[in-house]
């Protein structure tokens, strides 16, 4: 229900409408991505109390509808950042692309003006026109907010909403920052293994968990996604599995899900989930735009369908290997 502005309560009626739409195709709404967090909450303004109450009521309404996991993020201003929405790839497809020098050397308002000219941007979550219309005011507001303040504001938010989530049978799953480093001087904190560990310690509650996005965290070459899956697996309530390709100059592009097409070892990532007995939710996340499909940037249906089957294929292979090993040692 991205037509509802961040900070407003999602009504029972609008949630039920989406639930019925999904049910027509034999789908459910176990997972919601995303219930966006209002900027006043991230900034720690007095008005955050009103928006947190709205968030709590949204969680209550989602719980009534049977939702089990809610994905959200705590990124200031921009939910995610790319410089090209349809970058041509060597295989003839196009994909989301990040050019480091362009982001490092441009004023954010000028950057926004350039990006707004690209078809499809303003249909993307995190780039809504009403949010972007206030871009100058937001950057002014964040001038005094450093990482320490953002951590405190996140802790306050969690202390308020996690008990409500638990009471309503919902696991909260924070999405890492994308990309996982500061852009335009804005603080970013869900960026690496140590910060994820710190995040989980802010509120020690079964409903406080992660959306582990291999593509977001994997944008930083220092992040070991396989190790994170094995360490935090019990708190990963939503797994985003996708691949990217790094370039030496700091650029990266999104690719197909195949290990051989990118810089991330998707095979080992899926194996790690299999090894820990992962039992929560997975999606193939972003995909290329292939076969002349007209789609939202990064959300090609065709390539994400291929991604689903690639992940299924890997999982089936590891199931077969496990069964073979059990038979070899006489374990039934």
Confidence check: pLDDT of 179 > 70? yes
Domain presence at residue 247: yes
What pairing do the DSSP bridges indicate for beta strands 236-240 and 252-254?
unpaired
* Paired residues of 253 in beta bridges: 97, 245
87 in a structural domain: yes
Instruction: Name the H helices within 65-182.
Output: 100-104, 108-116, 129-132, 135-141, 147-167
Instruction: Name the catalytic one among 213, 251, 280, 303.
Output: 213
| Neighbouring residues of 310: CB distance < 8 A, sequence distance ≥ 6 | 256, 257, 258, 266, 284
**Domain total for the chain?**
1
Q: In the prediction, which pLDDT does 1 show?
A: 85
Which helix H or strand E contains 46, and what residues bound it? none
286 is an active site residue: yes
Burial class (CB in 10 A: 0-12, 13-18, 19+), 253: buried
Helices (H), the chain: 12-23, 39-43, 48-64, 100-104, 108-116, 129-132, 135-141, 147-167, 193-202, 214-218, 225-232, 266-275, 301-328
CA distances from 266 to 235, 257, 312, 313 (A): 20, 7, 12, 12
Classify residue 328: in a domain, yes or no: no
Q: Which two tokens stand for residue 200?
A: 């989980």
Q: What is the Cα–Cα distance from 268 to 274, expressed in whole angstroms?
A: 10
Q: What is the pLDDT of residue 126?
A: 60
Exposed / middle / buried, residue 329 (Cβ in 10 Å: 0-12, 13-18, 19+): exposed
**Domain boundaries, position 139:** 73-322
Q: Is residue 90, in this structure, part of any structural domain at all?
A: yes
Domain of 234, CATH number, reads 3.20.20.150
Catalytic residue among 86, 156, 278, 299: 299
Q: Does the annotation count 213 as an active-site position?
A: yes
Chain mean position to CA 170: 17
Confirm whether 175 is a catalytic residue.
yes
Computed over every residue of the chain, the mean pLDDT equals: 92
Phi, psi of 297 (to 5 degrees): -55, 125
Report pLDDT for 118: 67
Q: How many helices (H) and strands (E) does the chain have?
A: 13, 10
Decide: 196 and 232 in contact? Cβ < 8 Å.
Answer: yes
Lowest mean pLDDT among 39-48, 208-217, 317-326: 317-326
CA distance 8 to 4: 7
Q: Out of 38, 175, 274, 289, which one is annotated catalytic?
A: 175
> Per the domain annotation, does 9 fall within a domain?
no
CB-based contacts of 257, cutoff 8 Å, min separation 6: 241, 242, 243, 266, 284, 287, 306, 307, 310, 311
pLDDT-based confidence at residue 56 (cuts at 50, 70, 90): very high
The Cβ-side half-sphere exposure at 49, using a 13 Å CA radius, reads: 1
What values do phi and psi take at 21, rounded to 5? -60, -45
Q: Is the pLDDT of residue 4 over 80?
A: yes
Burial class of 45 by CB neighbour count within 10 A (0 to 12, 13 to 18, 19+): middle
Name the active-site residue from 71, 84, 192, 240: 240
Q: What percent of the chain is predicted at pLDDT more than 70?
A: 93
What is the pLDDT averaged over residues 190-195? 98
pLDDT at 206 (0 to 100): 97
Single out the catalytic residue among 38, 257, 274, 286. Answer: 286
The set of residues, in sequence order, having a beta carbon less than 8 Å from that of 47 and lying 6+ positions away, is: 40
Rg (CA), the chain: 20
pLDDT tens by residue, 61-87: 999 999 999 999 999 987 788 889 999
For residue 3, being part of any structural domain is answered with no
Asked whether residue 2 is assigned to any structural domain, the reply reads no
Q: Which entry of 55, 285, 289, 303 is annotated as an active-site residue?
A: 285
Let me know if residue 119 belongs to a domain: yes
> Catalytic site residue 192?
no
């Amino acid at each position: 229900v991205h037509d509802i502005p961040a900070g407003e309560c999602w009504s029972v009626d609008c949630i039920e409408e989406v639930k019925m739409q999904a049910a027509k195709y034999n789908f459910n709404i176990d997972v919601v991505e995303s219930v966006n967090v209002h900027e006043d909450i991230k900034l720690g303004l007095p008005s955050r109390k009103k928006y947190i109450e709205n968030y709590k009521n949204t969680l209550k309404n989602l719980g009534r509808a049977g939702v089990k996991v809610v994905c959200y993020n705590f990124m200031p201003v921009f939910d995610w950042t790319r410089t090209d929405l349809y970058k041509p790839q060597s295989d003839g497809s196009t994909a989301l692309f990040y050019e480091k020098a362009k982001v490092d050397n441009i004023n954010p308002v000028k950057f926004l003006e350039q990006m707004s000219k690209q078809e499809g941007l303003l249909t993307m979550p995190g780039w809504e026109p009403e949010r972007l219309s206030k871009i100058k005011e937001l950057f002014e507001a964040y001038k005094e907010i450093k990482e320490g303040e953002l951590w405190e504001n996140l802790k306050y938010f969690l202390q308020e909403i996690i008990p409500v989530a638990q009471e309503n049978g919902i696991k909260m799953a924070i999405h890492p920052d994308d990309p996982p480093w500061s852009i335009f001087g804005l603080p970013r904190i869900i960026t690496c293994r140590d910060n994820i560990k710190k995040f989980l310690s802010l509120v020690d509650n079964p409903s406080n968990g992660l959306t582990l996005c291999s593509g977001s965290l994997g944008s930083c070459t220092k992040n070991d996604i396989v190790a994170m899956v094995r360490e935090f697996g019990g708190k990963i309530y939503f797994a985003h599995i996708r691949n990217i390709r790094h370039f030496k100059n700091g650029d990266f592009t999104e690719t197909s899900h195949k290990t051989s097409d990118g810089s991330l070892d998707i095979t080992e990532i899926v194996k790690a989930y299999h090894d820990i007995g992962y039992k929560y939710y997975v999606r193939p996340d972003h995909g290329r735009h292939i076969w002349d499909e007209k789609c939202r940037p990064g959300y090609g249906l065709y390539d994400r369908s291929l991604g689903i089957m690639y992940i299924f294929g890997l999982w089936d292979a590891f199931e077969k290997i496990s069964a073979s090993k059990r038979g070899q040692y006489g374990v039934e």
